Structure 1
Amino acid sequence: MNIVIDSLYKTFGATSALENINLQFQGGEFVTVLGASGCGKTTLLHLLAGLTSPSRGNIYIDGEAKSAPGADRVVVFQQAGLLPWLSVEENIEFGLSLHGVPKAKRRQASAEILRTIGLEAFAHAKTYELSGGMQQRVAIARALVMKPKVLLMDEPFGALDAQTRTAMQRFLTELWEQLHCTIVFITHDIDEAVFLGTRLVVLSSRPGRVALDVPIELDRPRTPQTEFEPHFLALKKRAMDILAH
């Protein structure tokens, strides 16, 4: 799987959100996109998802131009957006049901992903009975059960408290190490961006341009000690210097 973002521009009226974005992602990468508020990073994710169209330029996935939503890309937003009248397993199966997958296959798929995320004991619980972190796990499972080529994540841990956020970061890295799906993860948190990814993209202030695009060469599994490694600290400083201007 290959993603090519070619000379991408996006304007909203007289406001230029993104200018001349050129990026190429390989299958299985965990790309973190970092930038200050208002730099266009969420706009970039919406363009990748097909939720909005570029003013100029193109996005290609495996050589095919993409300008509309598709089952090959699934978005996880900051709010879990679960349906409170459905159980956990029913929430996970919701997208599959919309695609006409038979109930038996849906139930098998949800059981498998619940085991993967460690919530099989909560299959029949209502989502409002879960903690914030558990709800986001269900939202991620609902996305992954669709088997997308690309998982697009828009600051999915931004609304969580610090302790839960740290736990969810570790959960997501472990899940990615197990599944090796392609992830594009939007964040404004420098530590989160460097800790999670295999590759760091930093956008300049609006209009967003690619100010940095480098591999994150840190061993896995990532642990709390990772944040004290020289490469982590060096990347953090480079990102801070860009965001300061």
Structure 2
Amino acid sequence: MPSTFPGATGLSEVSIYDWPGADGAAGGSPHMHTASTEAYVVLQGTGRLETLNSAGFTSTPLAPGVVLWFTPGTVHRAINDSGDLKVLVVMQNAGLPEHGDAVMTFPPEHLADADSYRRAAALDIKDADAGLPAGEEAARRRRDLALQGYLVLKDAVIESGPEALADFHAAAGRLVGPRTSAWAELLAGGAAEQAETTRQQLLSLDAAETFYLGKARTTMGKRENRRIYGMCGRIQAWELSDS
């Protein structure tokens, strides 16, 4: 069901992975979103958000109360310095990230075609609370593979500037391109529909008609029972529709 949360956004609580990577820093799988802006509200712990985008390479400190967001095309890596970094993620266009909007920074051979990417990205065990070593090992291997490609990209951006991202952006575009018609349907039933509802409400108010105010309601999101292995960490999600 489409999100009826304000702005048709998605909401999740993410405990950033505390697994050390090849460079010694603990954190999640570097990736980018192709059609959704993502926001962090830091709840606990400290760390950094490394980003690669039109500004080049940036490292932003994370601490409780920090709010930041980044637009599509921003390669990002959450680093968990304190070991207990937890963020509330607000995601634009709920449904798109769940339907493949994100692309991880795997080495180029894993971005060559959809099948290669799917094999690298797949997790057979998604339940992060099941206590199964195989699930954590697979999520960690995926993180390490994304980190391998990211560290090369990071060095290239530091040396040559944002233009070094062009090949990765192009590969990501080829991977997600076939999905955009389905995304358009999700957008039409979510953010676009909410915007149209607001437009109609403004027209009603302009005509001194307030009938829609009598249909006001309160909705409580349903917290999912189990966390899942995500890209940045273990994800606690909510169902945010009216039904």
What's the TM-score, normalizing by structure 2?
A: 0.22
Rg (Cα) greater in structure:
2
